[in-house]
Structure 1
Amino acid sequence: MPVTDTDGGILDWLIPAAVVFGSAALLVLVAVWAVKRARRSPRARAAAEQVRARAGVQLVRLDDAVDELDLEVALSGALYGGTAPASLRRARMTAQHVRDESFDEFRGLSRPGLHPAELRRGAVRIERRTDEALGRIAAAREEHAAWVAANISAVDQVAAARGHLERLRAEMGDPAALIADLSARFDEAEWADAARAARGARDAAASAEDILSQAAAHAGDPTRSVLTELAEAERALRRAEADARILEETHRLVTQAAQALPGEFDAARSALRHAQTVRSHLPPAAAERLGGELRALSADLDGLEPRAARRPTKTIDEIARVRDRLDMALGDAHTAQQRLRGARTALPGTLAAARAAVAQAEGAIAHSGGGADARARLLSAQRELAAARQAQDPVDALDAARRAMREAEDAKALADYSRLAR
């Protein structure tokens, strides 16, 4: 069919238009691709990580502020009999909720493969929430300080704080006696943290006494407020209480571990014998693999025994790891009933190891400060430990206790790294 002049005119118009629009579409596609690539580039990732780090700093500030608020609420209740404004308690509850939610979200921002834009949005959201919570805390503290200045005698405040110090010293008793008991029976690694805590408790109590003496000297001056000195003394008392708890908890954990050792060894060996029974019902190749792992686990268990009496918490921790490896080696060969029976026998030792790991992480963060990542993992470890204690199913409890151990170990490692870096 011949091409008419009209058809030729249409083609003359259509072809250049198609080229123009096609080129424009191609340019748009290239631009979109370039933008997406830029948003996923190492530079975009680094920039988003900086925003996350800034949010982490704010989150640590909020966590510290919540601790300070706990201190002031306790001080208010002890000194003023609950008659102070309720704004402090309300601000504390709100700030605790924001802190816990933000730590959960902050932990999620570290998952692999997260898009930099999503990382940035999450970090900005955390930073905004923490800033708002810090603002509410500051306003509540100002209101509380004004109320105290108008309603409470400085002399009465100092006297009440001295009563707190005396009660603390009575509760602490003689830390040196606990350290002497531990050092006579166990390796230094078992009680080194307790010894540091004992020194910290004594030093903090002495510091609180010095601060209260200064406050007493100023209490008679109606133009001066002793609230700053009282708050500083309360911080020192809190440090002393925290260190005293570390000391008592360490002493309890070590002595309980020493008492539990024979039963933990017996339970682990019983589990190995049961595993040999399971092995006898497996196909030859699977039985051979399991047999090799059982021999290695038995050798590891035997190697723990010579020094177990001097290193009870470390040994309990290692036995818990042996039981974990045994469960992995058995895998699907375990029936549901066998898995339940194994979990029941492994749970006490694993819970003890998890408690010790969480206590060590708490001590490390208390003394080094630790960043947001360390604190987020500690919070996760504490939740997993609580879940393990409350779980009705032994298998679920054992899984939660093992997760608590891993999270606590990560938290302590991060806190130790932060301390060394400083």
Structure 2
Amino acid sequence: MPDLVATILGWVVPALVVFGVTAIAIAVLVWAVRRARRSPRARAAAEQARAHAGATLVRLDDEVAELELEVGLSGALYGGDAPASLRRARLAAQHTRDDAFEEYRAIGDPGVAPADVRRVAARIERRSTEALALVAAARSEHGTWVRQHVSAAAQVDAAQRRLAELRGAMGDPAALVADLSSRFAEDEWREASRSARAALSEAAEAGRHLDAAAARAGDPSLSALPDLAAGERALRQAESDARNLEETHRLVLQAAHAVPEEIAAARTALRQASVTREHLDPAEADRLGAELHAVEAELNRIETDAARHPTRTVEAIARLRGRLDLALGDARTAQQRLRGARTALPGTLAAARGALAQAEASVSRSRAGADARSRLLSAQRELASARQAQDPVAALDAARRAMRDAEDAKALADHARRSPTG
């Protein structure tokens, strides 16, 4: 029997040693591979791949904007809808762009493995390049058709009609700015003033280019296309700034009207939070009481100058309501959360709309990169979700996300505009 045990141990022990050493070697190898994949060098390579994909995505976004312009021009030239080929190309490119921006933002999270970043970046690069080729083919096909069937004079006439319509719709931009400046602080109407000046300047520039294009259109030896294209770009930017002026004016007046209600709703929420505090244990009650005191002090400070700064006040109250919700945590009942969301939603939606308008203006006038544009698209989606949601709590959460994304987009776009390479 001892000999049998010795024989078995003679076979088993070496085998266990071999298997143990092999298992340790495999574990060390797996660890080394994983570490290499997450090393600074791997992360740098992944970030480079993401940046390259982002640059291609920005090109696609710009091309989609150009295609949208061309679709609008086609509608004007044909007296109706744009050609089906252009509409299909635009929809396909928009869908690809929106999905790609969502993926691009997702791989910006530091927790994503470098290998996954490179894989998704390669997919973004491939799909964006395919979409760019689709857009280029559609525009080339359409350009050929236009040159064969539509005269340069007709194109110039269509652009001049749009310019005349824009000038008629703008009226006197200075009057809108004067209305705001007579009632509110400068930071409330500064963006409107900038948009008014830009819209007038761009409309004048568009007029000069279109006049030059009209003069060239009558001479077969000259090409009107360069001036026509320049006029269209100036006209498009003028339309964008005119919309921004009107939106800013509307948002400021709406905020001024809403300020008293928002302040009253915030004070009601504070009183309800105080009632909730009475049912908490002493430690939680003390913590919540300190936060309520801080929120009330901030609300009192905001209220002193609310009439002169309506949009800033509405935004600040929206943040205070979020801070209050965070402080209350799970202390409220479902009914209390629902009631609080209903009263906080109007002001938060207004704040999100204002933040989005500012972000759109910043992105449109800067060489914003993919990060700013992806956050802008996310803000637009979140705001749309907030408007469509039936549940006030879900709508409030979406509005707050839209507000944060819009603020991030504006900050990134402003940074790009201030940077030497921006």
Deviation at 1:20, TM superposition (A): 10
Give distance in 2, aligned partners of 1:384 and 1:291: 33
Aligned pairs for 1:166-315 within 5 A: 166-315=164-313
Deviation at 1:84, TM superposition (A): 6.7
Aligned pairs for 1:18-417 within 5 A: 33-82=31-80, 85-417=83-415
| Matched residue count | 413
Deviation at 1:212, TM superposition (A): 0.5
Deviation at 1:231, TM superposition (A): 2.7
Give distance in 2, aligned partners of 1:165 and 1:327: 49
Deviation track 1:315-334 (CA, whole Å, cap 9, x = no partner) reads: 11111111111111222221
Q: What is the identity percentage for the equivalent residue pairs of Structure 1 and Structure 2?
A: 65
Deviation track 1:40-69 (CA, whole Å, cap 9, x = no partner) reads: 210011011001000000001100100000
Q: Check whether the contact 1:343–1:395 (CA below 8 A) recurs between aligned residues.
A: yes
Relative distance call for 1:138 and 1:394 in structure 2 (3 A) is same
Q: TM-score, normalised by structure 2?
A: 0.92
Give distance in 2, aligned partners of 1:116 and 1:38: 10
Relative distance call for 1:18 and 1:390 in structure 2 (3 A) is closer
Give the 3-state SS of the residue equivalent to 1:124 in structure 2: helix
Gapped regions of structure 1 (runs ≥ 5) = none
Query: For residue 402 of structure 2, what is the amino acid of its counterpart?
Result: A
Give the 3-state SS of the residue equivalent to 2:365 in structure 1: helix
More moved, 35-44 vs 174-183:
35-44
Deviation track 1:77-96 (CA, whole Å, cap 9, x = no partner) reads: 10123587432221111100
Q: Check whether the contact 2:73–2:158 (CA below 8 A) recurs between aligned residues.
A: no
Query: For residue 362 of structure 1, what is the amino acid of its counterpart?
Result: E
Q: Kindly report the root-mean-square deviation, in angstroms, between the aligned alpha carbons of the 2 structures.
A: 2.4
Relative distance call for 1:366 and 1:22 in structure 2 (3 A) is same
Q: Check whether the contact 2:362–2:414 (CA below 8 A) recurs between aligned residues.
A: yes
Deviation at 1:214, TM superposition (A): 1.1
Give the 3-state SS of the residue equivalent to 1:307 in structure 2: coil
Q: Check whether the contact 1:380–1:404 (CA below 8 A) recurs between aligned residues.
A: yes
Relative distance call for 1:33 and 1:332 in structure 2 (3 A) is closer
Give distance in 2, aligned partners of 1:23 and 1:322: 60
Q: Check whether the contact 2:383–2:399 (CA below 8 A) recurs between aligned residues.
A: yes
Deviation track 1:7-31 (CA, whole Å, cap 9, x = no partner) reads: 9xxx9xxx9x999999998777655
Relative distance call for 1:143 and 1:306 in structure 2 (3 A) is same
More moved, 407-416 vs 281-290:
281-290
Deviation track 1:252-289 (CA, whole Å, cap 9, x = no partner) reads: 11111111111111111111112222222222222222
Q: Check whether the contact 1:85–1:147 (CA below 8 A) recurs between aligned residues.
A: no
Give distance in 2, aligned partners of 1:104 and 1:400: 16
Runs of 4 or more above 6 Å deviation: 17-29
Q: Check whether the contact 1:72–1:231 (CA below 8 A) recurs between aligned residues.
A: no
Give distance in 1, aligned partners of 2:400 and 2:346: 12
Relative distance call for 1:24 and 1:279 in structure 2 (3 A) is closer
Deviation track 1:193-243 (CA, whole Å, cap 9, x = no partner) reads: 111111110111011101101101110123444334323222111101110
Query: For residue 319 of structure 2, what is the amino acid of its counterpart?
Result: R
Relative distance call for 1:83 and 1:149 in structure 2 (3 A) is farther
Relative distance call for 1:282 and 1:39 in structure 2 (3 A) is closer
More moved, 106-115 vs 356-365:
106-115
Give the 3-state SS of the residue equivalent to 1:333 in structure 2: coil
Give distance in 2, aligned partners of 1:406 and 1:303: 23
Query: For residue 64 of structure 1, what is the amino acid of its counterpart?
Result: D
Q: TM-score, normalised by structure 1?
A: 0.92
Give distance in 2, aligned partners of 1:32 and 1:272: 55
Give distance in 2, aligned partners of 1:134 and 1:209: 31
